[in-house]
Amino acid sequence: MDSIAPAAERIGNSVLEKIRETTDRRNTVYRVILCGEIIPGCDRTELAAYYQKFMRQYQSDLDHVTGLLIMQPTSYLNIIEAS
Protein backbone atom coordinates (compact mmCIF):
# COMPACT_ATOMS: atom_id res chain seq x y z
CA MET A 1 0.00 0.00 0.00
CA ASP A 2 2.85 2.42 0.68
CA SER A 3 4.03 2.18 -2.93
CA ILE A 4 0.61 3.27 -4.28
CA ALA A 5 0.38 6.51 -2.27
CA PRO A 6 3.41 8.27 -3.85
CA ALA A 7 2.15 7.40 -7.35
CA ALA A 8 -1.27 8.87 -6.54
CA GLU A 9 0.36 12.07 -5.31
CA ARG A 10 2.28 12.45 -8.57
CA ILE A 11 -0.86 12.22 -10.70
CA GLY A 12 -2.20 15.52 -9.37
CA ASN A 13 -5.64 16.99 -9.81
CA SER A 14 -8.38 15.48 -11.90
CA VAL A 15 -9.63 17.11 -15.09
CA LEU A 16 -12.79 18.22 -13.29
CA GLU A 17 -10.73 19.98 -10.62
CA LYS A 18 -8.69 21.74 -13.33
CA ILE A 19 -11.86 22.93 -15.07
CA ARG A 20 -13.26 24.23 -11.79
CA GLU A 21 -10.01 26.09 -11.10
CA THR A 22 -9.98 27.77 -14.51
CA THR A 23 -13.65 28.70 -14.62
CA ASP A 24 -13.87 29.54 -10.90
CA ARG A 25 -17.62 29.03 -11.05
CA ARG A 26 -19.59 27.31 -8.35
CA ASN A 27 -22.69 25.28 -9.09
CA THR A 28 -25.25 26.73 -6.73
CA VAL A 29 -28.91 25.97 -7.21
CA TYR A 30 -31.55 28.32 -5.87
CA ARG A 31 -35.08 27.02 -5.48
CA VAL A 32 -38.28 28.97 -4.82
CA ILE A 33 -41.58 27.24 -4.14
CA LEU A 34 -44.75 29.28 -4.57
CA CYS A 35 -48.20 28.00 -3.76
CA GLY A 36 -51.54 29.71 -3.72
CA GLU A 37 -55.25 29.47 -4.06
CA ILE A 38 -56.99 29.99 -7.38
CA ILE A 39 -60.01 32.24 -6.99
CA PRO A 40 -63.20 30.66 -8.36
CA GLY A 41 -63.94 32.05 -11.80
CA CYS A 42 -60.30 32.98 -12.43
CA ASP A 43 -58.97 32.27 -15.92
CA ARG A 44 -56.33 29.58 -15.38
CA THR A 45 -54.79 30.14 -18.80
CA GLU A 46 -54.10 33.75 -17.78
CA LEU A 47 -52.26 32.54 -14.67
CA ALA A 48 -50.20 30.08 -16.73
CA ALA A 49 -49.36 32.81 -19.27
CA TYR A 50 -48.18 35.11 -16.46
CA TYR A 51 -45.74 32.51 -15.12
CA GLN A 52 -44.55 31.66 -18.63
CA LYS A 53 -43.77 35.35 -19.27
CA PHE A 54 -42.05 35.57 -15.86
CA MET A 55 -39.79 32.61 -16.70
CA ARG A 56 -38.84 34.05 -20.11
CA GLN A 57 -37.97 37.38 -18.53
CA TYR A 58 -35.28 35.87 -16.30
CA GLN A 59 -33.96 33.21 -18.68
CA SER A 60 -30.42 33.77 -20.00
CA ASP A 61 -27.63 31.73 -21.57
CA LEU A 62 -25.41 31.95 -18.49
CA ASP A 63 -27.91 31.56 -15.67
CA HIS A 64 -30.44 28.87 -16.34
CA VAL A 65 -33.91 29.29 -14.88
CA THR A 66 -36.38 26.42 -15.01
CA GLY A 67 -39.71 25.82 -13.40
CA LEU A 68 -42.68 23.58 -12.95
CA LEU A 69 -46.23 24.89 -12.64
CA ILE A 70 -48.83 22.48 -11.29
CA MET A 71 -52.42 23.68 -11.35
CA GLN A 72 -55.31 22.03 -9.56
CA PRO A 73 -58.94 23.19 -9.68
CA THR A 74 -58.57 25.34 -6.55
CA SER A 75 -54.80 25.76 -6.04
CA TYR A 76 -51.43 25.94 -7.77
CA LEU A 77 -47.82 25.07 -7.02
CA ASN A 78 -44.92 26.70 -8.86
CA ILE A 79 -41.35 25.48 -8.37
CA ILE A 80 -38.60 27.71 -9.80
CA GLU A 81 -34.93 26.71 -9.90
CA ALA A 82 -31.98 28.83 -10.99
CA SER A 83 -28.25 28.23 -11.13
What architecture is the 26-82 domain classified under in CATH? 2-Layer Sandwich (3.30)
**Among 36, 44, 38, 83, which residue's Cα sits nearest to residue 64?**
83
**Tens-level pLDDT at each residue, the chain (83 residues):** 555 555 555 566 777 777 777 776 666 788 999 999 998 888 888 888 988 888 888 777 777 788 899 999 999 999 988 87
Terminal CA-CA length for the chain: 41
Q: What are phi and psi of 82, to 5 degrees?
A: -140, 150
| Single-letter amino acid code for the residue at 83 | S
Instruction: Give the helix, strand, coil percentages of the chain, each rounded to 5.
Output: 40, 30, 35
Burial 49-67 (b: 16+ CB within 10 A, else e): eebeeeeeeeeeeeeebeb
User: DSSP label at 61?
Assistant: S
The predicted structure's pLDDT at residue 83: 76
The predicted structure's pLDDT at residue 28: 76
Residue 31, beta-bridge partner list: 81
The predicted structure's pLDDT at residue 8: 52
Where do the domains of the chain lie? 26-82
